[in-house]
Structure formats: C-alpha cells, structure tokens
C-alpha cells in the first residue's frame, strides 16, 4: 500500500469551515474575487482605482497602459466579481454618456488585506534582516 492509498487517520485535524453559516457571499464568490485580482493587469487596474477613487475609462486605460481589447475584458471581470463598480454619467458639455469606474469596499479590502499586506510584510522582513 503506497502513501497516497492510505485512508485518513483520526489524528488528521480538519479546518473549521471558512465562512460563517450566514455569510453574505459564498466561498466560490470569494475565490472568484481572489482569482480576478491574481491577474497582473487586473491587479494594476484595481490599485490604480484605489489610488484615485474614481476614473473615467479613458483615464484609467491611459494610467494602466493596456491594449483596448484586453482592457475592457479585464474591467468586465472586475465588475462581474464585485471588486469595482461601473457607472455612466452625462457631463454638461457632452452629447453622450461617459463610463466611470471605482473600487468597491470589497475591492479595497482584498487589495489592502490581501496581496499588498503580503508585500508589506516582505518589506518589513527585509528591513529587519538586512
């Protein structure tokens, strides 16, 4: 019998459920958010929005410097999982609507307490031991 064929023993501890029973989101929704921010372009988009609070699509595209066909795909992914909000508004001097994007509270939270927290810890570790 190989190592992988053995049945689990009673000594193996099982983790508690990841979410409370009355959670507002499912585990799959949280994982979809994590997957979305795991892409470098979407990470840059979200960081740029958090730094600016709200940007038009044109300003955001220029700041992130990504090709148009990829840009809207990545924006839609972030909107679909709830990390950014999309709204349209008419400006006084325009004939049409402009689209603006802003981070949601979840978008700010996943950025601040996820990847960026790990990066801060690495900096602290390097400062302490260099």
pLDDT value at residue 89: 77
Q: H or E element: which one contains 63?
A: helix 57-64
User: Is residue 98 pLDDT above 90, yes or no?
Assistant: no
- The predicted model gives 1-18 an average pLDDT of 77
What's the pLDDT tens digit per position in 54-93? 999 999 999 998 888 899 999 999 999 999 999 987 766 6
Output the six-digit token pair for 63. Answer: 């700041």
- Split at pLDDT 50, 70, 90, the class of 45 is very high
Name which of 46, 123, 127 is nearest 79 in CA terms: 46
Name which of 92, 32, 96 is nearest 58 in CA terms: 96
Q: What percent of the chain has pLDDT over 70?
A: 92
Domain 27-129 architecture: Orthogonal Bundle (1.10)
Judge whether 75 and 82 are in contact, CB under 8 Å.
no
Identify the weakest region by mean pLDDT among 25-34, 69-78, 94-103, 104-113. 94-103
- Split at pLDDT 50, 70, 90, the class of 2 is low
Residue 61: phi and psi, rounded to 5, are -60, -45
């Amino acid at each position: 019998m190989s190592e992988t064929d053995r049945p689990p023993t009673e000594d193996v501890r099982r983790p508690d459920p990841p979410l409370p029973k009355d959670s507002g989101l499912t585990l799959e929704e949280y994982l979809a958010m994590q997957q979305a921010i795991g892409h470098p372009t979407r990470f840059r988009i979200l960081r740029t929005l958090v730094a600016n609070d709200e940007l038009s699509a044109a300003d955001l595209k220029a700041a992130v410097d990504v090709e148009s066909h990829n840009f809207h795909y990545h924006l839609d992914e972030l909107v679909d999982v709830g990390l950014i909000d999309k709204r349209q508004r008419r400006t006084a001097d325009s004939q049409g609507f402009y689209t603006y994007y802003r981070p949601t509270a979840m978008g700010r939270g996943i950025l601040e307490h996820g990847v960026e927290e790990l990066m801060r810890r690495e900096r602290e570790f390097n400062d302490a031991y260099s």
